[in-house]
Chains A and B, each alone.
Chain A
Amino acid sequence: MGAKRRFRNSSGIDIQEVYTAADLDGFDYRRELGFPGEMPYTRGPYPTMYRARPWTIRMFSGFGSAADTNKRYHYLLEQGQTGLSVAFHLPTLLGYDSDHPRARGEVGKCGAAIDSLADMETLLDGIPLDKVSTSMTINATAIVALCLYVAVAEKQGVSPDKLRGTVQNDILKEYIAQKEWAFPIQPSLRIVVDMFEWCASNMPEWNTISVSGYHIREAGATALQELAFTLIDGLTYVEEGVKRGLKVDEFAPRISFFWDLHNDFFEEIAKLRAARRIWAREMVKRYHPNDERSYTLRAHMQTAGVTLTAQQPLNNIARTALQALAGVLGGGQSMHTNSFDETYALPEEQAVTVALRTQQILQAETGLTNTIDPFAGSYYVEKVTNQLEEGFYAYLERIEGMGGMVAAIEAGFPQMEIADAASSYQSLIDSGEQIVVGVNGYQTPEDDPGIPILEIDDRLEQEQVARLAELRERRGKGYLRALESVRKAAFGGANLVPPILEAVHAYATAGEIMDTLRDVFGEYRDPGYF
């Protein structure tokens, strides 16, 4: 292994041997940093941050049947996680039922199989929705998931205005990176704004969107691309809400964000800080909100799955811990830490416990929560924060020059930037310039990882299909009238939340609701850039 010749971070910023005050010439504390909880929020969205309340430990979780997942939720809550996070299986994510031909082989494999209110009730059984906040990672089918959650809560006697949580609902990053879409862009944005509008009046404690950088980064983007595309997506959503006629303060306070926590330690800290500052300045400049929550960026974070290795999987524990540390120093509001076995399968109980304990150790043992934004004033960190901000503005100019993010997506711009970055990174690994421990350096011969691996029984699919058949049998015909209301609203432009809520109560399935919407809106086609 040769010595590294180039010193730079993922964003391509050259890194100096040493940084001094000269690198921050003209730096103005009040203008660039301020105090936590005040403009421009570089140091954090809240005045007291972790001293008053640590970040939420929120482990993304779901596999097999709703019942299997419910068990894991109880386990995680008992073991001290402080918020729930739901992983749905691919059919639900794409809006298909478990008995759809395309769902063959996929049922319960990547998340919980949720086809109807019955499954959702099982998923959340024994969990008091007025006490626990829940994040649901779902996008194309987000409106259905939100209604399922509200319906379960209503059955528990909890009204929507008491519910706390988040639905990811960030369709733009699907077209850019994760590719779990259903409808074309315009109807999808209409659905997002329907949810902003309905929740503004009915669910004031609920985050209607989690504008995500994670997936963009995992697809191969650099930290700068992650930052830029995510914040520009966020601004695009705000503009859509305003175009609908909503006042910015009605819905912007409930916009949240989601960052990746990748390998370059200081770049990640700088990224989180730059993001808060940019969001605050841009939102104030564009919309002049009265409510400061409209320009306070709050974020969930997840350690970078893409950096984990199949080789020597126990090393992933170290990777996750270091990435989590960057997140804490960057000042995020909630965090998921990956399990060491995730390059093989969904997390086994022992592995997820280690991931959970990693966060608890950070909270309890390291002294990290004693002060806020400890890297403020670091010549290096402030310099990289500034450089990422400059890079953001360069991308903003380019994308606005194309006509905005939607036009840029239609032209394939962010997708190609990401594909280029992913290929470049692979070249660095193939050439040995980037060493990945255990993969192209420090290898040990091993045929078997020697760790327990979670297996989803193939019989689950048949069981779920049987449950679905039984549901269709016993539910009566009310769901048909409800689906007709959904169709009318989709076609006519009325807010889709009320008719979908009615449909889920009538035990219409997720697939049936999404089919109804697909009939009206059509389907998005993958342009197939590579």
Chain B
Amino acid sequence: MDGHDRGAKVVARLLRDAGFEVIYTGLYQTPEAIVATALQEDADAIGISVLSAAHRHLFGETARLMREQGLGDVVLFGGGIIPPSDIRLLEQMGVERVFLPGASGPDIVAFLEEAVARTRRSDGQA
């Protein structure tokens, strides 16, 4: 339900400029819709930005649906307004990395390059 998309858009552009194919879903996606899009687009990664403090529910539900639909290997990451005390919890739910305010563009790009390469290797892809 969060309309604040500055972070999502800046990260989408950073990743696009770094050579990733980015599908920006736009606002107001439900976990179901996000996972359906990822399945449809054969995405290597899903990134979610949450500034509304609903991160535990949204990441948790997304991770659960990903596992349910066989997307357990897809990299789930994100950021927003998230208290550091919740990061451990999110990681346990299946979020690979949480970027807090102040994260640098190069760090995000580097993380995703490494994470996707690792997933592809374990999948036996080139």
Contact = CB atoms under 8 A, between A and B. Distances in A.
Interface of A: 90-91, 93-94, 96, 102-106, 109-110, 174, 178-181, 218-220, 306, 308-311, 343-346, 419, 422-423, 426-427, 429-430, 436, 438-440, 447-449, 453, 456, 458, 526-528, 530
Contacts of A178: 3-4
B6 A102 contact: no
B1 A343 contact: no
Interface residues of B, number: 36
Contact of B1 (A94, A419, A426, A440): A94
B24 A219 contact: no
Contacts of B52: 90, 106, 109-110
Contact of B53 (A110, A427, A439): A110
B84 A447 contact: yes
Contacts of B13: 419, 423, 530
B4 A179 contact: yes
Interface string B62-99: 00000000000000000001011100000000000000
Contact of B105 (A346, A430, A438, A456): A430
Nearest to B100: A310
A106 B52 CA distance: 7
Contacts, number: 105
A426 B14 contact: yes
B10 A422 contact: yes
Given A345-B83, A426-B14, A103 B1 contact: yes
A96 B30 CA distance: 15
Contact of A105 (B9, B56, B105): B56
A345 B85 CA distance: 12
Nearest to A523: B28
A313 to B, nearest CB: 10
Given A109-B53, A423-B14, 19 more contacts: A90-B2, A102-B30, A174-B3, A178-B3, A180-B3, A218-B4, A308-B101, A309-B101, A310-B100, A310-B101, A344-B81, A419-B9, A448-B84, A453-B85, A456-B53, A526-B27, A527-B26, A530-B22, A530-B24
Interface string B94-126: 000000111011100000000000000000000
Given A219-B6, A419-B9, A526 B53 contact: no
B54 interface: yes
Contact of B10 (A105, A218, A426, A526): A426
A105 B83 contact: no
B105 A426 contact: yes
Contacts of B9: 419, 422-423, 530
B58 interface: yes
Most buried by A among B2, B12, B58: B2
B102 A220 contact: no
Contact of B57 (A93, A105, A180, A453): A105
A439 B9 CA distance: 20
B84 A218 contact: no
A104 B1 CA distance: 10
B106 A436 contact: no
Nearest to B56: A105
B53 to A, nearest CB: 4
A181 B28 CA distance: 11
Contacts of A306: 6
A89 to B, nearest CB: 9
A440 B9 CA distance: 21
18 contacts: A96-B1, A105-B56, A106-B54, A174-B3, A181-B3, A218-B4, A218-B6, A310-B100, A344-B81, A346-B53, A423-B10, A423-B13, A430-B104, A430-B105, A448-B84, A456-B53, A530-B13, A530-B24
Most buried by B among A344, A439, A448: A344
A110 B3 CA distance: 12
B25 interface: yes
A204 B105 CA distance: 50
Contacts of B21: none
Nearest to B2: A90
Contacts of B27: 179, 526, 528
A339 to B, nearest CB: 13
Nearest to B55: A105
Contacts of A102: 1, 30
A530 B5 CA distance: 9
Nearest to B24: A530
Most buried by B among A90, A181, A449: A90
A128 to B, nearest CB: 32
Nearest to A341: B83
A528 B26 CA distance: 5
Most buried by B among A109, A174, A308, A439: A109
A356 to B, nearest CB: 22
B102 A311 contact: yes
Contacts of B83: 344-345, 453
Contacts of A91: 1
A453 B100 CA distance: 15
